[in-house]
Amino acid sequence: MERISWKQYFMAQSHLLSYRSTCTRLTVGATIVRDNRIIAGGYNGSIAGGVHCIDEGCYVIDGHCVRTIHAEMNAIIQCAKFGVATTDAEIYVTHFPCLQCTKAIIQAGIKSVYYAENYRNHPYAVELLEHAGVHVEHVPLDKKIFLAFANDERES
Ligand SMILES: [Zn+2]
Ligand SMILES: [Zn+2]
């Protein structure tokens, strides 16, 4: 197969991570990148050791599942936990970030947001990203990457 681009590589990574999600409402993945190196990844799920939505059902208040930490937050928190700088990093997300995650992304000094799918794009989130000078780009996942992988007949 053709050599894949960095953008598709990181976007594919976020989609793989989304398959680790424990919430049944929406499966989201996020990958934080600096200088074309992955520094953190996250998916939406419960806190470590907590019960999972896939086992207990979602904990819904006002139409939102409150049990989970969003993928973007998990990735940023992972950086905090291990002392990795997020300044000038990029984030690749399967879905357009929510307002809370948008604020965290901006505040963490992340300079580019690449998203595969539009998802309830909040006008205030769009406005905040613009105002902060964050580069926002729609990068739909090329699903042929995974087909090529499944059909790869090279010796392993
Ligand atoms: Zn849930
Ligand atoms: Zn969010």
Cα 101 to Cα 110: distance, rounded to the nearest angstrom? 11
Tokens in use for 7?
Answer: 């953008």
Give 85's DSSP letter. -
Ligand nearest to the Cα of 24, by number: 1
Cα 100 to Cα 84: distance, rounded to the nearest angstrom? 21
Cα 18 to Cα 122: distance, rounded to the nearest angstrom? 21
Short-list 96, 92, 88, CA closest to 132: 88
Which strand (E) or helix (H) includes residue 42?
Answer: strand 37-43
Ligand nearest to the Cα of 68, by number: 1
- The rounded Å distance from CA 60 to ligand 1 centre is 7
Instruction: Please enumerate in sequence order all residues whose Cβ is within 8 A of that of 122, keeping only pairs 6 or more positions apart, or say none.
Output: 98, 99, 102
Short-list 106, 111, 155, CA closest to 137: 111
Of residues 154 and 79, more confidence is placed in 79
pLDDT band (50, 70, 90) for residue 155 = low
Whether residue 156 has pLDDT greater than 90? no
Taking the model in full, what pTM does it have? 0.94
Whether residue 153 has pLDDT greater than 80? no
- The rounded Å distance from CA 151 to ligand 2 centre is 34
Q: For residue 13, how far is the Cα from the chain centroid?
A: 9
- The rounded Å distance from CA 54 to ligand 1 centre is 7
Owner of token pair 């926002």 = 136
pLDDT per residue as tens digits for the range 27-69: 999 999 999 999 999 999 999 999 999 999 999 999 889 999 9
Q: Is 72 a catalytic residue?
A: yes
pLDDT per residue as tens digits for the range 107-151: 999 999 999 999 999 999 999 999 999 999 999 999 988 888 888
Annotated catalytic residue, options 2, 72, 127, 137: 72
Cα 118 to Cα 94: distance, rounded to the nearest angstrom? 9
Cα 98 to Cα 126: distance, rounded to the nearest angstrom? 10
Exposure on the CB side of residue 109, measured as CA atoms within 13 A: 9
- The rounded Å distance from CA 97 to ligand 2 centre is 5
pLDDT band (50, 70, 90) for residue 154 = confident
